[in-house]
Structure 1
Amino acid sequence: MPKASKKEKNAGLQNREKQNNNHPTVKPIKLMSYLITMGSREGDIVLDPFCGSGTTLLAARFLGRKFIGIDIEEKYYEIAHERLKNVSGRLPKPEPLASGKIQRLSDFKSFELQSQGGPILNGSVLSKLPAIIGKILNNPSTVPTEIDGFKITGHKKQNLEQKKEPDNVQDWADKGINISRGCSNDCRYCYAREESVRRHGNTVENWPKEELNPKIISKGWRISSKRLMFPSTHDITPGTYDACETVLKKLLKAGNKLLVVSKPRPDLIEKLCDAIAPYKSQVMFRFTITAMDNNVLGFWEPNAPPYEDRKKALVVVKEKGFRNSVSIEPMLDSPNVGDLIEDLRPHTTDCMWVGPMKMVKKRVVNDSPQVEKEIVKIISDQTHVKLLPIYMKYKDDPMIKWKGHYRKLLRKLRVEIPPQKDDWRDRVPE
């Protein structure tokens, strides 16, 4: 990461007699922001007992954290105080990584150090190895890099790009369309909530409030060649239903085929089926049904419908002549997922996607002993060893599909599941 620019270091110091930040080791805000994000959540307190000119504290403020800064040098305290007093704003979005560029040591199978018959491996060579490996990481090449009479070569893992699994959305769609910032179901593991808090300045407390986006609701739509999913970051709830129906009608009238995804409420789904009945040949419903046990559902998905309602919605859609499918992701009750599959099978016309919970500790707010207990349980229930018997039981079942994280975990046991990109449009009749 590049060093802090002069402009960044001196921002906010215009009113000082000495307008420059003369601290000898000013860190870039982007670097400290990354570290803060990795180690804290919005509202937490960040302590920097050697805060220097205050970069860590600025990053904490930008990311919605509280902070305490301490420094032994009064002159640096004064610089930090001026920067904090005068600099405000939000952090820019990080730029995407260059396609195909190797960024991690784990992308390499090994590094080979070859002697040219002369010097021994001494301290001088060892001290330079991290810099040499860094160059190889940023500029992968099969050509050895020479260092003091030695040659070092990085051996890249085979088919690196092929091994990378798509994320949850990419399995099913090329584009997600959403009309709400927030979701009243307020699922504890929600990836969209975590991302909204981390990247877009939202808060955990505000997420259930469902702020509708009038620009998306009033927008006109054209037909797209992409696989479209609606919605992808929230559900169809009483608070969003009218807007969802409006946008769905526009998308379907334009000729699009749609994957409609939600934790379903049967009354809303029946109403929606009647509203879009002329377009039933363009729609595939995919309902998230993650467990049969309502105690489990009530903990992880506190405001979402109970199991019986979700199953009823699946039945309603089938009776109305629409195609339907199921998402059992995340499996909230892995030991009983077989019973869930068999109970839903008679009412499912297309397929069921099975997947574990991703990034549990990152996405779930651990704020009580009960939450801690449930986190431990869900992690222990979805280890690759425990996922294997489920896969072996259903691996030849044409109705069962495996989400990317499931495939990734089973690779630890050398079980290769082919990529399962779902072009459900081919299975929606013309």
Structure 2
Amino acid sequence: MTTQESFNAGQLDPTFGNNGIVTIDLPNGMSRFPSIVTFGTGAALKIYFAGWLVTTTPYTYVVGRLNRDGTPDKAFGNDGLITGLFAGQSAVVRSMAIQPDGKIILFAEQNYGASFPCFARFDSDGTLDKSFGTDGYTVLEIELAPPAPASALDAKAPSSNSGASPFGVEILPDGKILAFKHYTFGGTGGGSIGLIIRLNAEGLLDTDFNQIGYIGVIHPDYLHTATVLSDIMVQADGKYLGCGAVGNYVDPASAMFVRYDTEGNLDTSFGTKGNGFVTIEAPASTGGIGVQRMVQQPNQRILGIGRANSQMGMMTSIEPDGTPNIQFNRGVPLITSLQDNAVTDWTGGAIQKDGKIVVVGTAGTVNGEADIVVARFIDEKFDPAFNNGMGWVSTHVEDGTESATGVALQDDGKILISAYTDSLGKALVLRYLA
């Protein structure tokens, strides 16, 4: 990192795109981009983004690749972009991951009906890998019933549309694929459960995981309300950690973590109640909290990133065994408001090599003017070396609501984020100095 970059930490990188911002030129206009990752080292590093087009019916996926300077990588797809349908299905892209061999896994869910999980795999040049699933695609017709007395969690019955975080697909060391989905039943009054899915390297359900390749996630104390699963990750010991919230149908009451072993069994050593779940109560006056994203901290601690019902950003840190990390904000959730009488929402995060926390999201008024925000913390305090002592920076691209949707750190420490503007439906990639 150069002295100039260090001095300007938090500023847009003038060597990237148009003064730090790349506007993705998409066919058919409006888009939503929820995911961004980096891959490779040194000169081979590329920037990937993924999302879907909302002006086409059915919705089509979009995957793109940029060079380090923000120009389209012409060697990828059609002038840097690939588009298509998941085996003819209209779907909303939720996440993507890059395999060690450079192949790309795209994860989505149908945006109508039962909202089945969908996967696709592409070669490193953007060509559909037809050895994966069925001609390159896997659409899982998994239907879950809401929990009820004397009914099995995996009983088959129609489910309604669902929501999911734009994160949460991971390539395991053996090439298998781990993902999650969130199911709701009967609108806002029918309950909510999560689903953890594992595919083998060929794109088929892995029956070594819970015998059927997936498992329902529901907190035993919230059988008939809401267990919201928002993200999943693999810990250093190979176990699977999920996060989200539990509570009523509209607003979460408490943040939630849950852990499973590699066979799909709840890890009863996680937390203090012996059921594999950890819940974290909201601080007074916040009305409830939920975790949208997790990142790995030093010493195998886990940082949960999300928001409070009071429309403020939230972070909470736990030890590997699920107990509170007292070195972060004395073991209680950190609630942050960047502007008076305005919304602050954290939508993604990353941990720098020095342990500093980078979070991204949006700040502004509800259904009005809101801008992209990037903040950096040292534990629970704003980093005074970021944005000339402020600790956070906002970026205004155009009028209306703008939000960061994903974040990744380059090998040189620079901060990449994906974002969108709501008024014109533009997809953006921005890069900040670190």
TM range (shorter): under 0.3
Higher relative contact order (CA 8 A, sep 6+): 2
Name the structure with the higher helix share: 1
Q: What TM-score do you get using the length of structure 1 for normalisation?
A: 0.26
Q: What TM-score do you get using the length of structure 2 for normalisation?
A: 0.26
